[in-house]
Amino acid sequence: MSELSYFPGSTNREDYAKKIAAVFSEYLEKNGLRLTSPRRKILDCLLKADRHLNQEEIYQSLRPQGIGRATVFRTIKMLEDSNLLSRIAGISGPPRFEVHSERPHHDHLVCISCGSIQEIQWPELERIQEKACGKIGFEIKWHRHEIFGFCKKCAGSSKQA
């Protein structure tokens, strides 16, 4: 399970976290909602993680602080609505989540043998996408691109799922 997570050169993790929190807060305000302590903690948990968490993992790590499952789900939904969080499907099991926004867009390479998720950036591919969609009048909001196969390690060995 090697899952990468990185932050653009000029922005360190804390600045990044602040920025995201600000965007979230703004979103909430605009909708007459509040940036409460549980919501903040859930966002922090996602930001601190160096891999893609699923709902259960967030819940387990925050339960000691008295945060319930429902709140985790509700907050995840808000973060998705505010376009700060994206859902990654994987091959099976519950979806995992990833804070995006400021990070350069990347796609996912999911290994169907060991389950690892690598990230990959494709500026070239993004360009082609936009050009083609522009031509047929489709206005892109976001996309999800998951490639399934065998990672380097697993491709070398026996390839069992």
Partner DNA sequence: ATCGTTGCAAACGGTTTGCAATTCG
Partner DNA sequence: CGAATTGCAAACCGTTTGCAACGAT
What does the alpha-carbon distance between residue 47 and residue 23 come to, in Å, rounded to a whole number? 13
Among 17, 39, 82, 108, binds DNA (CB under 7 A): 39
CA-CA distance, 108 to 116, in Å (whole number)? 10
Q: Using CB under 7 A, which residues numbered 88 to 127 contact DNA?
A: 93-95
**SS3 at position 32:** coil
Q: Could you tell me which of 65, 35, 33, 60 has the C-alpha nearest to residue 49?
A: 60
What is the nearest approach in angstroms of DNA to the Cβ of residue 97? Answer: 10
User: Binding of its own copies at residue 138 (CB under 8 A)?
Assistant: yes
Rounded Cα distance between 147 and 112, Å, is 10
How many residues appear in the chain?
161
Binding-site size, its own copies (CB under 8 A): 31
In the bound complex, what is the minimum distance in angstroms from residue 59's beta carbon to its own copies?
21
For position 155 contacting its own copies by CB under 8 A, the verdict is yes
- Contacts of residue 43, Cβ cutoff 8 Å, sequence gap at least 6: 20, 21, 24, 75, 79, 99
Residue 37 binds what, of DNA, its own copies, none (CB under 5 to 8 Å, by partner type)? DNA
Number of residues that bind DNA (CB under 7 A): 24
Asked if 67 touches DNA (CB under 7 A), the answer is: yes
Give the interface with DNA as residue ranges (CB under 7 A).
28, 32-34, 36-39, 54-56, 66-71, 73-75, 77, 93-95
